Amino acid sequence: MGKVEEFLKKSSEIMKRSLAGVDYDKFEMKNISFDYESLMNLVPYNINEIIKIQREYKVGGTPLYELENINKIVKKLSKPGFGAKILLKDEANNASGSFKSRRASLSIFHAKKLGYEGVVAETSGNYGAAVASQAAQMNLKVIIVQEVFDSKWIGQPEILEKGRACEAYGAEVWQMTVGPELFYWTLIILNETGYFNASLYTPFAIKGIETLGYEIANDVKEKYGKFPDYVLTTHAGGGNITGTKRGLISVGAKDTKVIGVSVDLRGLHMASDRDFNRKSFTTGHTGFGVPFLVKPDRTDVPRNAARALRYIDDYFLVSQGEVFYTTILLAQIEGLERGPAGNTALSAAIPFATKLPDDKIIVVQETEYTGAGKHPYAQLTFAREMGVEVIKGDPNDNIPGKRIVIPEDVENLRYEELNMNELKISYLKHNIENIQEITKDDLNFLKQEVNEVESDFVERFLYEKGVKING
């Protein structure tokens, strides 16, 4: 066995030490299930305490805007009696400029409380900036491990911009080429420094996002007398959806539908050296969104606290060109210049609103800061340099990695609705592979995982696959 393989055998031990001794094994049940709520209850802070912590470190309490000019366009595009109201939760007002500040705040606070000297996070960038911002306020050291380059050492302007932001907050940034070395070097750094693992996928990270759903529900109820009908959120690794929905539920907004939205990059392989720089979005796309729905435990911790399939009600896809168009639209008619990835949900919200009655309320759940490298023009210029065609026209002509199509007008915006049953079946297939018999606990776990607690969806699937339920 080589040195690398020998070192990787220590990963569980390193992770346990870097997470204050959290023993994931004690949450495991028989076969495939684990006690998710007990894992989440590891966090020793309630919602009010989390809000207090976040406010102290410049997180939360972000404004909720009604997009009046966009809503006028929606009404013009809708038939009589239709055209839902779109509201925007402006998360760019958090320290570091994105909702990721919520995700980082509790982890860094807890690391400080436990006496860690520093923290480590692996990220494409926005989360890294959030971790660095929070660590700067709490006087902790921080190392960010960032996947930046292809094998020719060419980096996307957006990723380079995020790295610059991390350094601006005082982080030490380790920049990698695409591939498995990100995880390997993160393990080495955690092992050698003894720092806290501020992973995106711990209960601390998800609990920090719950305040976002909590605020949305309360803000809309106070201003409009009811909870929102829909919350649209950009979807990547699942934490955004998970935390937001849990926060909504905590206030009583159980009937609010949460819809995930991703940029359609199907056909591009996220770990491919060739494809790495042929995508103009580094997060919020199908390369993360689909795999994390159907195989959520593919993370740097043994069990992922972000379980989006438990909480998502629908899943929409939009094209890169549509998001770039919407980003410019938001700036030029609402006076809000925000980064493209945060506008992914907004690009779907506009055509979606035209299909809903005018008494419905849609909240677009986030925005993010922008900068020179994140601006649509920088991304489109880079796309052309990578051989990607950029044209105006019908978004249906978009081909990920080959052609970006910028819509001619707002009425050309559209979205594709993915089949949720197919995603749920994909998840179930991954979990019962090579299993002939499961327990009642396993069954209940699977029903919760695919959000089918009240139906016999899972039982019918298991019957068709010949899997027996013991007891």
Q: Which residue from 230, 228, 229, 233 is spatially nearest to 243, judged by alpha carbons?
A: 233
Alpha helices (H) in 357-439, listed in sequence order: 376-385, 420-432
Residue 377 carries which DSSP code?
H
Rounded mean pLDDT, 22-38 = 91
Whether the Cβ atoms of residue 39 and residue 19 lie closer than 8 Å to each other: no
Lowest-pLDDT range of 151-160, 328-337, 355-364:
151-160
Report the pLDDT value the prediction gives residue 20, as an integer from 0 to 100.
Answer: 84
Report the pLDDT value the prediction gives residue 124, as an integer from 0 to 100.
Answer: 77
Q: Residue 175 in 3-state DSSP?
A: strand
Fill in the amino acid letter for 382. Answer: F
Question: Vertex 468, ends 464 and 471: CA angle to 5°?
Answer: 140
Domain boundaries of the chain, sorted by first residue: 48-95+204-417, 420-470
Q: What is the pLDDT of residues 342-351, one digit of tens each?
A: 899 999 999 9
Q: Of 8 and 161, which is predicted with more confidence?
A: 161
Residue 288 carries which DSSP code?
H
Rounded mean pLDDT, 237-261 = 97
Beta bridge partners of 258: 231
Report the pLDDT value the prediction gives residue 183, as an integer from 0 to 100.
Answer: 85
The b-or-e profile of 62-82 (16+ CB within 10 A means b, else e) is bebeebeebbebbbebbeeeb
Write down the pTM of the prediction.
0.96
- State the average pLDDT for the chain: 95
pLDDT at 239 over 90: yes
Tell me the pairing of strands 85-89 and 64-66. antiparallel
Q: What is the pLDDT of residues 33-60, one digit of tens each?
A: 999 999 999 999 999 999 999 999 999 9
pLDDT at 448 over 90: yes
Rounded mean pLDDT, 124-140 = 95
Report the pLDDT value the prediction gives residue 372, as an integer from 0 to 100.
Answer: 87
Judge residue 340's burial from the number of C-beta atoms within 10 Å of its C-beta, 0-12 exposed, 13-18 middle, 19 or more buried. Answer: buried
E strands, 235-373, in order: 257-263, 314-318, 361-364
Report the pLDDT value the prediction gives residue 1, as an integer from 0 to 100.
Answer: 55
pLDDT at 5 over 80: no
pLDDT at 3 over 80: no
pLDDT at 137 over 90: yes
CA separation for the pair 214, 207 (Å, rounded): 11
CATH topology of domain 48-95+204-417: Rossmann fold (3.40.50)
What percentage of the chain reaches a pLDDT higher than 70? Answer: 99
Q: Of 200 and 21, which is predicted with more confidence?
A: 200
Lowest-pLDDT range of 162-171, 254-263, 274-283, 393-402:
274-283
